[in-house]
A and B are shown apart, each in its own frame.
Chain A
Amino acid sequence: MAYLSATAIEDCIQWLAVAYPAITNLIVLPEQSVEGRTIRALKIASGEGCNRRGVLFIGGTHARELINPDLLVALALKLCQAYTNNTGLTFGGKSYTSASIKLIVESLDIFILPLLNPDGRVYVQTTDAWWRKNRRVNAGSSCKGVDLNRNYDFLANFAIGSTSTNPCSETFKGPSAFSEPETRNARHMLNTYPNIVAMQDVHSSGQLILHPWGDDDNQTTDPAMNFMDPAFDGMRGTLGDMVYKEYIPASDLDWFVSTGNRMRDAISAVRGRMYTVEPASQLYPTSGTSKDYGYSRHFVNAAKRRVYAYTLETGLEFQPPYAEALNVMSEASAGLVEFCLASLCIVEDLSCEADIVDNLDDIRLFRDKELWASERGRTWIKLFRENNWEITALVIKNPDLRRQAVAVLKRANALVVSRKQKLKVIDMETIKMVNDLSSQLIKQASPGFKKAIIEVQNDLKHFKGKSISEILRSH
């Protein structure tokens, strides 16, 4: 068996859209590659929920990393088959039930862009097995190509660490941010589908799950020390110093690490390979990468959604024999399915029914600033994150539970809205509603989720007659 050519990848994506028309949409990206090839993505989704979340997978950025376009095409095919046939998916020692696959396809928009850099893949096939960049002719240089994963708009005026201004370098960042049609296509996905909240740019190799930031060490205490402030220009990119560290909100860092750990565990269950979760800067500092651009967008423009963006580095080789490539594809697929489950959010799923869409930003602010600031609040956030997909699975399919959850959400929203009013306290009826819902959920919950529900129920006993600020202060 051999890897798919660039043509075969595009053909297969088009075929999937024809073979599974009920759950797929073919997306022809607006710009052709430097050498004139059309680039396509596939959206997999059943139904059209209001305020539905999107997840984006990108592959084939670096031409020589052959596994990942095949991996994403195979994953698209497996998701379509499993959903249509109402079966689960098994990857070695890791299995997902048909209910989990149904939940993913019916609750998320999954965008798969398997081959960002088709020209590079053709060049690898025909000429140079170790080619990495696209095939741009660089003005004034005999060297071709731009490293697409240094061409995004993140600290684009700099060349930090492993980012080069030399057209002959494998990490040449190009003449300007988004100078390349291929990266503009990736940006088009984020701009055109603003419901995308999570993203994986799939690369090889190293068995790594990398999260922001890439330019310097992370810090969670000084929001003013960030990539947008020119006062720090020239100070970024030296690891371990006290001069500059990139700000990341603690709540976001927790999401990146806990979700990365979930992916790591899912991958490990396939055949025992242990991937490492870490900030990308800990390998070698960079600027202009997709993950940092994806995640930085909402800092630059608060109107944009926060995108939890990662770089997944699959396997240990760029071009292993296909039998080993299949093993890598299997373990990475488990990681990506787990990532989809971690990206579900019951609050957003039910936000239209609960009529709280307009207040979601304030709810997020409350979660990230006020809840996160208290120890108990952090525990609740973590409990909720760990069990979000299971809550979603139980609530979505059961009309009674769904009705109860919508009612609880409305109450919770009212409390968040009125949290500054000290006299607004949690009444008995609200506590009863949460208790009733949790008592229903616990009947069908997994052992881990049961434990979380009991913890919440115990907390609830102390809430009656207290305001939110009192509760948070008392813990």
Chain B
Amino acid sequence: MKNKFFVTITASDRGKFFTLHDFDIDLLISTSKIKDRKSPAIDAIVTQEEIEKLVKAGFSVKVKEEASKRQFKEKMTDNFKDWIKDMQERKEII
């Protein structure tokens, strides 16, 4: 699996910004900032090749972090009763 990166993509104007979906990249649309901004921006999870394509197309791409650094590393718990016990210890539930 290719390395991925959390990035912020900035477009020069709104018109250009709304062409981003043509790249079929993993846009995180809940991070979209278009209101009252001359240079709208959005976060995405992309590969190195996708960064290069975006830059070539005139977008500014700021790499925030390698994606693997943000993932939850521990194994998920299969035993919900242990989870409930932990929740009780943390006083989240009674």
A12 close to chain B: CB less than 8 A? yes
Q: Is the CB of B76 within 8 A of A3?
A: yes
Measured CB to CB, the nearest residue on chain A to B44 is A170
Q: Is the CB of A284 within 8 A of B76?
A: no
Q: Is the CB of B32 within 8 A of A130?
A: no
Measured CB to CB, the nearest residue on chain A to B91 is A90
Q: What is the number of residues of chain B that contact chain A, defined by CB distance less than 8 Å? A: 39
Q: Is the CB of A205 within 8 A of B30?
A: yes
A195 close to chain B: CB less than 8 A? no
B70 close to chain A: CB less than 8 A? yes
Measured CB to CB, the nearest residue on chain B to A8 is B80
A164 close to chain B: CB less than 8 A? yes
Q: Is the CB of A125 within 8 A of B34?
A: no
Q: Is the CB of A206 within 8 A of B30?
A: yes
Q: Is the CB of B18 within 8 A of A161?
A: yes
Measured CB to CB, the nearest residue on chain A to B22 is A164
Which A316-357 residues have a C-beta within 8 angstroms of B?
A: 317-322, 326, 330
Interface bits A282-293 vs B (CB < 8 Å: 1, else 0) = 111110000000
Given the interface pairs A77-B93, A130-B67, the reply to whether A3 lies near B30 with Cβ below 8 Å is no
Q: Is the CB of A161 within 8 A of B26?
A: no
Which residues of chain B have C-beta atoms less than 8 A from A318's C-beta? 70
Query: Which residue of A85, A132, A170 is within 8 Å of B94 (Cβ)?
Result: A85
A284 to chain B minimum Cβ distance, whole angstroms, is 4
Interface bits B12-42 vs A (CB < 8 Å: 1, else 0) = 0010001001001111111110110000001
Q: Is the CB of A12 within 8 A of B80?
A: yes
A149 to chain B minimum Cβ distance, whole angstroms, is 11
B68 to chain A minimum Cβ distance, whole angstroms, is 7
Which residues of chain A have C-beta atoms less than 8 A from B94's C-beta? 81, 85, 87
Query: Which residue of B1, B32, B90, B93 is within 8 Å of A81 (Cβ)?
Result: B93
Which residues of chain B have C-beta atoms less than 8 A from A417's C-beta? none
Q: Is the CB of A284 within 8 A of B42?
A: yes
Q: Is the CB of A8 within 8 A of B77?
A: yes
A251 close to chain B: CB less than 8 A? no
A131 to chain B minimum Cβ distance, whole angstroms, is 10
Q: Is the CB of B29 within 8 A of A77?
A: no
A168 close to chain B: CB less than 8 A? yes
A128 close to chain B: CB less than 8 A? yes
Measured CB to CB, the nearest residue on chain A to B32 is A283
Which residues of chain B have C-beta atoms less than 8 A from A319's C-beta? 70-72
A53 to chain B minimum Cβ distance, whole angstroms, is 26
Q: Is the CB of B18 within 8 A of A238?
A: yes
Which residues of chain A have C-beta atoms less than 8 A from B92's C-beta? 74, 326, 330
Which residues of chain A have C-beta atoms less than 8 A from B90's C-beta? 1, 326
Measured CB to CB, the nearest residue on chain B to A169 is B24
A240 close to chain B: CB less than 8 A? yes
CA distance A166 to B23 in the complex (A): 11
Q: Is the CB of A161 within 8 A of B86?
A: no
Which residues of chain A have C-beta atoms less than 8 A from B26's C-beta? 130, 132, 170
Which residues of chain A have C-beta atoms less than 8 A from B77's C-beta? 1-5, 8
Which residues of chain A have C-beta atoms less than 8 A from B80's C-beta? 4, 8-9, 11-12, 15, 73
Which A80-94 residues have a C-beta within 8 angstroms of B?
A: 81, 85, 87
Q: Is the CB of B27 within 8 A of A162?
A: yes
Which residues of chain A have C-beta atoms less than 8 A from B75's C-beta? 2, 125
CA distance A85 to B94 in the complex (A): 10
B55 close to chain A: CB less than 8 A? no
A441 close to chain B: CB less than 8 A? no
B48 to chain A minimum Cβ distance, whole angstroms, is 15
Q: Is the CB of A2 within 8 A of B30?
A: no
A208 close to chain B: CB less than 8 A? yes
CA distance A204 to B28 in the complex (A): 10
Which residues of chain B have C-beta atoms less than 8 A from A238's C-beta? 18
Q: Is the CB of B45 within 8 A of A284?
A: no
Q: Is the CB of B30 within 8 A of A4?
A: no
Q: Is the CB of A5 within 8 A of B29?
A: no
Measured CB to CB, the nearest residue on chain A to B29 is A284
Which A159-180 residues have a C-beta within 8 angstroms of B?
A: 161-164, 166, 168-171
Complex A-B: 13 CB contacts under 8 Å: A1-B83, A3-B77, A8-B79, A8-B83, A77-B84, A85-B94, A125-B75, A129-B68, A129-B72, A130-B71, A132-B26, A161-B18, A164-B24
A130-B71, A163-B21 provided; 4 other pairs, C-beta below 8 A? A12-B84, A283-B32, A318-B70, A322-B72
Using a CB–CB distance below 8 Å, which chain B residues touch chain A? Answer: 1, 4, 14, 18, 21, 24-32, 34-35, 42, 45, 67-68, 70-72, 74-81, 83-84, 86-87, 90, 92-94
